[in-house]
Structure 1
């Protein structure tokens, strides 16, 4: 195509916005638009002739699936490239069925963006002959600044997406996954969060410790819903006799280990996970009262789309672990 290209980046991550802006700034004849959610993207598509939209799936207000369902909003033939940490096979299939042209998993490389656009018929013209290495992943950590919590949330989001794909493949069920929350929490905030997680009348709380590479942490898992047994059967866990508690422990173990396996691959830190245990009320109270300093926390959730089964997970790591994570983020800059 000889005319200038108009490209829309629809992603709630400011890191992706910066990285894509940096990538396309190396080429001539490119007009960029940005949207932080699906609603903004639809408004942009209605107002402008957009040649290509890069679309995230997990966003506030209106997610990527919602955008695909409401297209087209104009007669202009916009091509769609999905960029997402949600790499469930069912997510890929839904995007393609809804009209997406390509699906790229996060993190993605410069060469993937370049070659995918080329497949769509877009020949990008560089402003200079200096060609950067093609295997630098986007978003680049050099663009992150000093907010290591926000930086690590991007890594946790990728780990969550890969973890959900593992679970989805096992249970043959689509898993919905909101963005993970990464934060430093003090005693009062943690106590409130743990109370909110564990005081559902139909929930079961499980604790599981993990260590690796100087990181020491504990996961609090809360499972709830009437289809936990069915979900366990789908995963291949036996539900014969009085083994319901064992099934719950097996499910909780999968919810934690699937996330940590992906996190381990990104951080190059092997994690060792201890046997999970079901918690009694007095154990939950005692544990929260013992906290007297800030902890590094990662909060995420999984929910089955069709079955009545959901899981909330809170990972808590101590001060020394926080320093390991800080140093890890610095190595990526």
Structure 2
């Protein structure tokens, strides 16, 4: 009887990558789900031996799936495959019954070690296909495939940044799904509507460039976040403008640096970062963006929103790539796609 396997991840890329490195004899009874509710529906109809489960997904996340499976006392072996590598994410998943926790992107070696520990199998698939075609988009476009890959690469990078922040502040960082869009700069404020809401904000802008790709990283922090960040960093003095600026720079250094590092490692290109510039304090997001509208016509915008559980802390990180960068990214992304 063939082993039945379910891969649950909202990223099509992640599902494909993982499927390719599973044992060859597992390929004949393989199921896929794009979110937790879909996974539970499949589990209710089929006897699944192994479930490879992402944590951060729409509709129903991995924690909710684990909780449901724990109540049902299922015999399915659940392995978390996630870019959220915070210690508390690992602990929560294990407490809910996951037998192991794999950092994205999973590799054939890691899968082989996993199977040796839990099933004695030593035959991971060697069918990792080489790319047989390259995306050559001369026009400024963003295909579904490219968006999916960029979203997954960013998801992994933001997980690394969240882990650094979680360890520094000893908290649990909430990591939503990144938003990837090609937009007119005149419409950029629409992508930020979720963070504006009449709140005063401050922002740090830092340029980056490398290997035919360039852009600006924009970190936006709401005014209400400063007090809790100061407490978490064990600062108990008066929150002067100078102190708030230092807190803003500390957070931006962690998140911008870690996300760009994570992306550069996956794309195999080194980014040089410019000096950070404070765009404003006590200004709205629209005011901050308006000052830069003349610099961009269209931008590939990747929006990441970080929150900290049980604290009134929220910050948005925007990666704004130039139009000229998209062609290079298309070539890079092609190596993550099947031919």
Does TM-score exceed 0.5, indicating one fold?
yes
After the TM superposition, which residues 51-200 of structure 1 pair with which residues of structure 2 at under 5 Å, given as runs?
A: 51-72=49-70, 74=72, 76-121=74-119, 123=121, 132=126, 142=131, 146=135, 147-194=145-192, 196=193, 199-200=196-197
Q: 1:302 to 1:83 in 2, by over 3 A?
A: same
Give every structure 1 segment of 4 or more consecutive aligned residues whose post-TM-superposition deviation is greater than 6 Å: none
* Structure-2 change in CA distance of 1:162 and 1:239 (3 Å): farther
Matched, 1:245 2:245: yes
Structure 1 residues 158 and 29: CA distance shift in structure 2, 3 A: closer
Partner of 1:208: 205
Gaps of 5+ in 2: 136-144
- SS across alignment from 2:217: strand
8 Å CA contact retained: 1:46, 1:73: no
Please name the residue that 1:272 is paired with.
273
Kept in 2, the 8 Å contact 1:88–1:168? The answer is yes
> Per-residue deviation at 1:225?
6.2
Aligned to 2:304: 300
Q: Kindly indicate whether the alpha-carbon contact (under 8 Å) linking 2:182 and 2:300 is maintained by their aligned counterparts in 1.
A: yes
Report the CA distance between 1:85 and its aligned residue.
Answer: 0.7
> For 1:233-258, what per-residue CA distance to the aligned partner results, in whole angstroms no more than 9, with x for missing partners?
42466855622233233323333222
Deviation at 1:70, TM superposition (A): 1.5
1:229 equivalent among 210, 223, 227 = 227
Match of 2:141 in 1: none
Residue 90 to residue 125, structure 1, CA distance change in 2 (3 Å): closer
Task: Please give the alpha-carbon distance, in whole angstroms, between the structure 2 residues aligned to 1:266 and 1:41.
Answer: 28
Q: Distance in 1 between matches of 2:157 and 2:49?
A: 31
8 Å CA contact 1:225, 1:309 repeated in 2: no
Q: Tell whether the 8 Å contact from 2:183 to 2:298 is kept in structure 1 after alignment.
A: yes
Does the Cα contact within 8 Å between 2:4 and 2:26 map onto a contact in 1? no
Q: Distance in 2 between matches of 1:12 and 1:163?
A: 20
Can you list the C-alpha shifts for 1:103-131, whole angstroms capped at 9, x where unaligned?
000011112112212311253668xxxx7
Q: Which moved more, 1:114-123 or 1:85-94?
A: 114-123
Q: Could you tell me how far apart the structure 2 residues matched to 1:206 and 1:93 are?
A: 33
Contact 1:28 1:125 in 2 (8 A): no
Query: Does 2:303 correspond to 1:315?
Result: no
- 2:139 is matched with none
**Counterpart contact for 2:201–2:220, Cα < 8 Å:** yes
Bigger drift between 38-47 and 284-293 goes to: 284-293
Of 306, 328, 331, the residue aligned with 1:327 is 331
Distance 1:273 1:149, change over 3 A: same
The one-character-per-residue Cα deviations of 1:67-90 (angstroms, maximum 9, x if unpaired) are 111223645411111100111111
Report the equivalent of 2:258.
Answer: 258
Deviation at 1:287, TM superposition (A): 2.4
**Bigger relative contact order, structure 1 or 2, given CA contacts below 8 A and separation 6+?**
2
Q: Which moved more, 1:28-37 or 1:107-116?
A: 28-37
Q: CA RMSD in A?
A: 2.9
Count of residue pairs the alignment pairs up: 321
The verdict on how the C-alpha distance between 1:144 and 1:176 changes in structure 2, with shifts beyond 3 A counting, is farther
Deviation at 1:170, TM superposition (A): 0.4
User: What is the CA distance between 1:297 and its match in structure 2?
Assistant: 1.3
